[in-house]
């Protein structure tokens, strides 16, 4: 067989065959008197094996190693590793399809039913829009809205937080040095540790070094609100072990 015939039977290009020769995956065949390569049945079998292993996901170096000297033991180990990778990919794809199905059922609404339930509970909450965004961040970071459920289950804590939030919204037009800023931060010091204790570990880690989180949260706040929030975080950090 000539190279074109070999490639055609194996379902690959002549360029692939030549590349396999260059990297040592496929040995050079004997040449005829006219200089053309002359391939035999053994070469076709080896090329078909190489193509099959490459299609299974083996790198060409692994294919060459697996085919050299019939090293079946190494091939079994490689195939088991590839099979494990493919199983993991299947799990990821299944999870992605489930998430896509949920989004399709929700007509593309990225907010989960749990988040919508929290949004409904914040109907009369001061600073509602900002709180809704914070809830979405919480769910995205942790996959949970347990903090909001815990607050809603504690009527006293819920009332104190709502009152503090109402005063916080009134800081929009005051100076950052207004006594109301420090007074509110001091008042929030009392319930801060209770809120922090409800936070999942992922958010508590962020809270330990809050600069990035604070910068994001306070981006659209007035200077007085931003200062008050930083004071609250510093007080809560001090009170949290």
- 103-134 pLDDT, tens per residue? 898 888 888 888 888 888 777 777 788 778 87
Express each pLDDT in 169-223 by its tens digit.
899 999 999 999 999 998 888 777 776 666 656 555 554 455 666 777 777 889 9
Q: With bands split at pLDDT 50, 70 and 90, how would you rate the model's confidence at 37?
A: confident
pLDDT band at 13 (very low <50, low <70, confident <90, very high): very high
- Specify the pLDDT at position 51: 92
Q: Is the pLDDT at 38 greater than 70, yes or no? A: yes
pLDDT > 60? residue 138: yes
Exposed e or buried b per residue across 165-176, where buried means at least 16 C-beta atoms within 10 angstroms of its C-beta:
beebeebeebee
- Higher pLDDT: 71 or 30? It is 30
Tell me which long-range contacts 52-57 makes (C-beta under 8 A, separation of at least 24).
Answer: 56/82, 57/82, 57/85, 57/86
In the chain, where are the structural domains located?
Answer: 3-57, 71-110, 113-239
**What percent of the chain is helix, strand and coil (3-state, nearest 5)?**
75, 0, 25
Q: How far is the C-alpha of 181 from the C-alpha of 228, rounded, in Å?
A: 5
In whole angstroms, what is the distance from residue 161 CA to residue 92 CA? 40
Cβ neighbours of residue 203 under 8 Å, at least 6 residues apart?
Answer: 138, 141, 142
Cα separation, 76 vs 70, whole angstroms = 11
Q: What is the pLDDT of residue 203?
A: 57
Contact 205, 196 (CB under 8 A): no
Alpha carbon distance 182, 221 (integer Å): 16
Residue 197: predicted pLDDT: 67
Which pLDDT band holds residue 135 (cuts at 50, 70, 90)? confident
Higher local confidence (pLDDT), 8 or 209: 8
**Packing angle, helices 72-105 and 60-67, rounded to 10:** 150
Neighbours of 128 (CB within 10 A): 14
Phi-psi region for residue 5, left (φ > 0), alpha (ψ -120 to 50) or beta? alpha
pLDDT of residue 99: 86
- pLDDT confidence of residue 4: 92
Q: In this structure, are residues 100 and 108 in contact, taking their beta carbons and an 8 Å threshold? A: no
> What is the mean predicted confidence (pLDDT) over 46-53?
91
Class level of CATH domain 3-57: mainly alpha
Q: Find out whether 225 and 168 touch, Cβ atoms under 8 Å.
A: yes
Q: Could you give the count of Cα atoms lying within 13 Å of 22 in the half-sphere of its Cβ? A: 6
Sequential DSSP letters for 115-144? HHHHHHHTTT-TTHHHHHHHHHHHHHHHS-
Q: How far apart (Å, rounded) are the C-alpha atoms in residues 77 and 71?
A: 10
Structure tokens that stand for 104 in this block: 């399709």
């Amino acid at each position: 067989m000539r190279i074109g015939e070999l490639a055609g039977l194996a379902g690959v290009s002549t360029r692939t065959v030549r590349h396999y020769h260059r990297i040592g995956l496929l040995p050079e065949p004997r040449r005829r008197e006219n200089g053309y390569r002359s391939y035999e049945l053994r070469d076709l079998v080896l090329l078909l094996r190489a193509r099959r292993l490459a299609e299974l996901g083996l790198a060409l170096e692994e294919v060459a190693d697996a085919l050299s000297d019939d090293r079946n033991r190494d091939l079994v180990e490689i195939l088991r590793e590839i099979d494990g990778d493919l199983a993991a990919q299947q799990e990821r794809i299944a999870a992605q399809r489930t998430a896509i199905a949920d989004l399709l059922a929700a007509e593309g609404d990225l907010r989960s039913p749990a988040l919508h339930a929290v949004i409904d509970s914040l109907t009369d909450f001061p600073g509602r829009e900002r709180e809704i965004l914070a809830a979405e961040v919480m769910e995205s970071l942790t996959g949970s809205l347990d903090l909001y459920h815990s607050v809603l289950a504690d009527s006293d804590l819920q009332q104190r937080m709502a009152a503090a939030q109402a005063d916080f919204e009134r800081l929009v037009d005051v100076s950052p040095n207004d006594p109301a800023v420090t007074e509110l931060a001091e008042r929030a010091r009392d319930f801060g540790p209770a809120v922090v204790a409800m936070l999942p570990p992922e958010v508590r880690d962020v809270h330990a070094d809050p600069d990035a989180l604070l910068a994001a949260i306070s981006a659209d706040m007035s200077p007085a609100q931003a200062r008050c929030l930083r004071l609250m975080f510093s007080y809560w950090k001090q009170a949290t072990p």
